[in-house]
Structure 1
């Protein structure tokens, strides 16, 4: 009972220590402000775009984040929009081809980048603009917007491109290019969408103007271009393969269960732990007593004492009790020679008999036990 109480106390103390460590870790970690990359849709920092993402999610309802390679974009559907905001990782040629195939399937990519020199073969030129309080941007319908951000990179549209926004100098700020059944819309000012600038000047109306050019059923904010990749097993492998793996695992478990396989810890047979222990000795002694095999029991005790005599006192086990009388007289100093002579003589006579009484058995068991203790104690 005391051991059980002690074990419970140890578990309680351990649980309290773990709880204290968890609370301390939470407090320490919560004190440090979390660092977010720029232009990511889940960032509430001034350089994030969570505000506009949340606005679209409430207005449209079918907005999500995309953190997988472009080859996994659903090309079997149309009217989808992928928003690419200031890529921190420039797509390679294979990825560019995947994006183009996605647009040719009837989808749209909306790219916001200050200097899109190495993406989608866009032609650009640098033009310094005088920094005034606000820059005037004009839409296709002649509507004017104000922006307090002043980019220096503008687009050089070709004959097939459609200019959506331009400044007072006629420099293209946003354009649209056709790709098969889809389109690419690119703007030179990703900072319009940042949390710290979205409510400044006419940045929000400018963004809404561009998004109104697109009829999209689904909108994806591309986080793959910011180095955030979702490589979980549920997204890397196709659903039919995952379903096959799950069903196969369940089937294997059922087969093992039917065949009698056991999971968990194996039980150690009890006889391996208590073999030749006090329980076994007591059971053997009880059997001798109940069967009245006093002679056999006494013989076993006498042999055991002789083994101890050989180990401790160097008296040969193979000699009889009468033959070791002289050796006992030299070693057994607490007993007189006549008593030793009487001991070995009577014990030898008793062991030579076929049966002995219970009285003699108990008497000589005590004598042998006394000799055993003296031999073991030295």
Structure 2
């Protein structure tokens, strides 16, 4: 085998190994979905019903924005299936949207806050989930279904019963302004795992039909959010004015010949200035024999670090400081801090503190302060 053939063989093997490794590493894992999500194929998802809806009507869309940005227009419908964390303010915004001439379909097992739409609920005592006969306002013959909820809708003058069993009303519709709000207490009947059980599909499907221009499916309250851009909160005229002002400012700066970039300080100045300053200060302290004063500056810096890192005020005792250090550091590091504090205390009592001791104590303080600076 020639060298060229060997090279091609090695190259082919390397490419094959790379592809196999990529497939193994990038192999997609099964995605997990929240319950009642319209595109979830799981038993607790609602993909089956939503795909059938998509086949029967063209204008079916997902809604992933806050209720403050509900779509403009009328003759629209929005479906909420077991919405999570639906706030009172959001319910008010939804009802205002309904008043304009839209329909709201809510599937919620334990609803709250829909009293303004004449859709209050009460608890049924001693309830057991089992198959029951269900009457429908749109079907000539009753069907059978199993409702998991122990709540029933209260009868009201402005509420039209849609589904009922022996325990009470399972679904009702009320008119709000120019639109309607329909509340169903059986969201599980829409799930992939239960839609074909009993007569769930036959009982629910007629109420999902209507002459709507758009049928929205709420996914915002399932955690799938499409937040509006930051510019959405500003009016168009303000955005246009700011854009023109920015362009004019850039042209003005360019016309003035301004350059962009950092301003560099000459290295010769910083190096010379830094070295000369340190030497001058150190020689001044040495001539004046201010070793203890220099140590006090080091101590003040140490106390400041303790306050910044651990919140210890300057009046904290050495014993308390060591106790806190033992909870953050190793025993060896805490012991070094304790030794440094003891050396500082001894220096305060010594009337003849020498430069030699200052050097030794400074080295010890260097280790402690460097450790504190890493916190």
- Is the structural similarity TM-score above 0.5? yes
1:178-327 correspondence runs (5 A) = 178-212=175-209, 214-233=210-229, 236=232, 240=236, 244=240
> Unmatched 5+ residue regions in structure 2?
1-14, 262-375
Provide closer, same or farther for how the CA distance between residues 149 and 165 of structure 1 changes in structure 2, counting only shifts above 3 A. closer
What do you get for the CA RMSD once the two structures are aligned? 3.9
Within 1, Cα distance between the matches of 2:213 and 2:146? 32
Within 2, Cα distance between the matches of 1:17 and 1:254? 52
Within 2, Cα distance between the matches of 1:189 and 1:198? 11
* Deviation string, structure 1 residues 128-179 (Cα, Å, up to 9, x no partner): 44554x3211112542122134431110021111111111x26111101110
Provide closer, same or farther for how the CA distance between residues 109 and 255 of structure 1 changes in structure 2, counting only shifts above 3 A. same
Judge conservation of contact 1:90–1:119 (CA < 8 Å) in 2.
no
What SS does the corresponding residue of 1:206 show, helix, strand or coil?
helix
1:1-378 correspondence runs (5 A) = 23-27=23-27, 30=28, 32-74=29-71, 76-92=72-88, 94-121=89-116, 122-127=119-124, 128-129=126-127, 131-132=129-130, 134-141=131-138, 142-167=140-165, 169=166, 171-212=168-209, 214-233=210-229, 236=232, 240=236, 244=240
Provide closer, same or farther for how the CA distance between residues 249 and 220 of structure 1 changes in structure 2, counting only shifts above 3 A. farther
Structure 1 runs (4+) deviating above 3 angstroms are 15-25, 118-122, 128-132, 234-256, 258-261
Judge conservation of contact 2:75–2:103 (CA < 8 Å) in 1.
yes
* Deviation string, structure 1 residues 210-239 (Cα, Å, up to 9, x no partner): 123x43111111112223221152994589
Report the equivalent of 2:304.
Answer: none
Report the equivalent of 2:264.
Answer: none
Provide closer, same or farther for how the CA distance between residues 250 and 175 of structure 1 changes in structure 2, counting only shifts above 3 A. same
Within 1, Cα distance between the matches of 2:142 and 2:211? 23
How far apart are 1:255 and its partner, in Å?
5.7
Judge conservation of contact 1:135–1:150 (CA < 8 Å) in 2.
no
TM-score by length of 1: 0.55
Which of the pair has more CA radius of gyration?
Answer: 1
Within 1, Cα distance between the matches of 2:64 and 2:48? 19
> Unmatched 5+ residue regions in structure 1?
1-14, 266-378
Judge conservation of contact 2:163–2:171 (CA < 8 Å) in 1.
yes
How far apart are 1:82 and its partner, in Å?
0.7
What SS does the corresponding residue of 1:40 show, helix, strand or coil?
coil
How far apart are 1:243 and its partner, in Å?
8.7
Within 1, Cα distance between the matches of 2:251 and 2:16? 42
How far apart are 1:240 and its partner, in Å?
4.8
How far apart are 1:95 and its partner, in Å?
1.6
TM-score by length of 2: 0.55
